[in-house]
Every structure is written in C-alpha cells, then in structure tokens.
Amino acid sequence: MAMARRVPRNVLGLVKRNMSFKSLDPPSSLTHGIHVFHCPDAVGIVAKLSDCIASRGGNILAADVFVPENKHVFYSRSDFVFDPVKWPRVQMEEDFLKLSQTFKAIRSVVRVPALDPKYKIAVLASKQDHCLVDLLHGWQDGRLPVDITCVISNHHRGSNTHVIRFLERHGIPYHYLCTTKENKREGEILQLVQNTDILVLARYMQILSGNFLRSYGNDIINIHHGLLPSFKGGNPSKQAFEAGVKLIGATSHFVTEELDAGPIIEQMVERVSHRDNLQSFVQKSENLEKQCLSKAIRSYCELRVLPYEEKRTVVF
C-alpha cells in the first residue's frame, strides 16, 4: 500500500502520498507557477521541493504526489505563487535545476504561464470539422492556452466555409495537402510544423509513419472516436454499435508507431441503449470527442500529464 510521508507542519502540514491538497486562490499581486517532478523515490523530496519554493518567498497553493507501489519512482505537481521581483524567472530555473540534480530527476519542468511563451501547436484535420472548430473557438475565447501556428488538412475547404473564414479573420494559415496511399506529404508537413511544440490530430484520418514521428521528435496528441483499447482503427462507432455496447466513448492519447495504442491522456463516456441507432452513436461520439480532446490539450499545457512506464500516463 502507498504510505503517508510526514513533512514539516509549517511548510505543508501532513501530505498523504497519492493524494492532493489545496489552498486558496493566489492573491492578484503574485504570479502563478507550476512545477512537475519525476525522479527515483527517496526520503525528503517533498520537504526539499517545499523548501525550494518557500526559501524564495513562494507559497504552495496545491500539490499532488504519486508514488506507485513497488516502482521506486516519485511524481509530483505543484501550483505555487511567487513575487517575480524576489524570485526572478532565471533564478527559479537554476533553483529547480539544482533540485533535479540532487535527486537525479528524470523530468523537472517549471512553467510560469504569465511569463512563458504559450505552447505553439499545429492542428491536422481531415474532412470532419467538429473537433477542429471546437479547438479554434476554445483558442479564441482563451479556454486553450496555446498559439495555433497553422491548420493542415488533406481535405479542400472552400473560401466561404466557416473554418476558412475564421482562419482568415484571425490570420492563421490553412494548408491543403492532397494525400494518396503512396504519398502522405509527410516531408511537407514536417516543414510546416518545424517550429511547433506539439501537434494535435483533430480527426486527421491519416496514419503518420514511424519516420515522421522520429523526425518531428515532439509530442503528438490524437483524438480517437472510440473507447480504447476497444474498437481500434476505422469506424469505431459502427464497431461499437454492432457489438451492442452500453457505453460509448472517446479517447485522447499520444501518437506512437502502433495504431491507436499510445499512452492515454483522457477518456470520456456516455451511456447508450438498445433505442440508439448508428446515427445517434455517431452524434454522441462527436460531442465526446470535442470535450475529450480539449481537456487533454489543457491538461498537457498545464503540465498535468507525465509519462508512466511504457504505455501509461500520470494525469494530475
């Protein structure tokens, strides 16, 4: 069983491992920061993390810790506030670097949303618009903390379509690349996305090759219109309908060389019954897809998603 670890009461009180604790919202005069940590498990990590922040006048508002049983690894995510005058951004980076070296961290990332650049993303989409449109509107109203560099599609859209009008109005380039079985246009896609932090596949109905994944090198997030690991590949709604399921779902996951088998970030479900037909399956699935993909992107940008073993994730 996971055990509780005691830390100084004047820092965090009693923190139960695999649980979270929260405080009040940050005062408006302070700046919000996020830190995630993944390292071999050891005594005193939580205390040192807390001291690193407190010693610079920062205050932890929320923290999550996960130590899987018998794995000897430690995961944490901390939300904190600080005065950027007292704790400059460069100094913060140095402080957390020293901490990561002390504990031989596998991953130590700090972000200050108000000061750091937003993640740059490119969106790949095919004919269906629902996920793409939802992402564009989420970006427009600030629900998605990203900068969209371009939209790439293997489907032509006319100048009077809602998507094209929206993109032109906001100065986001749209690239139509007609693909075939013999030519997926991957070289051209790589050129278009070379300055992005992540790619988002918003119902992009093409399989990216292993060579593309290795050449790109950054994370790629996909939305699958089915509840993985069931119903992989094409027509998952039809597969689910014919199987007589009582729950349908959508899955957002990282893209790997194996089709629809990457580490899962987010899943959402809705109940169906014998009264549903294939059309209602598809309609319910599309609504889930939009919500699931949007939440996965937000979680990624807020540093809530950490790799865990080969095919799993920790999502705080």
DSSP string for residues in 12-51 = T-EEETT-EEE-PPPPTTSEEEEEEEEEE--TTHHHHHHH
Question: Is the previous residue joined to 229 through a cis bond, with omega within 30 degrees of 0?
Answer: yes
- Active-site annotation, residues: 260
- Considering only CA atoms, which of 265, 268, 276, 280 is closest in space to residue 313? 265
Q: Write phi, then psi, for 128 (nearest 5 degrees).
A: -75, 135
**Number of neighbouring beta carbons within 10 Å of residue 276:** 16
Q: How far apart are CA 184 and CA 161, in angstroms?
A: 25
Q: Are strands 220-224 and 146-153 parallel, antiparallel or unpaired?
A: unpaired
**Residue 254 and residue 265 in contact, taking contact as beta carbons nearer than 8 Å:** yes
> Coil, strand or helix: which one is 205?
coil
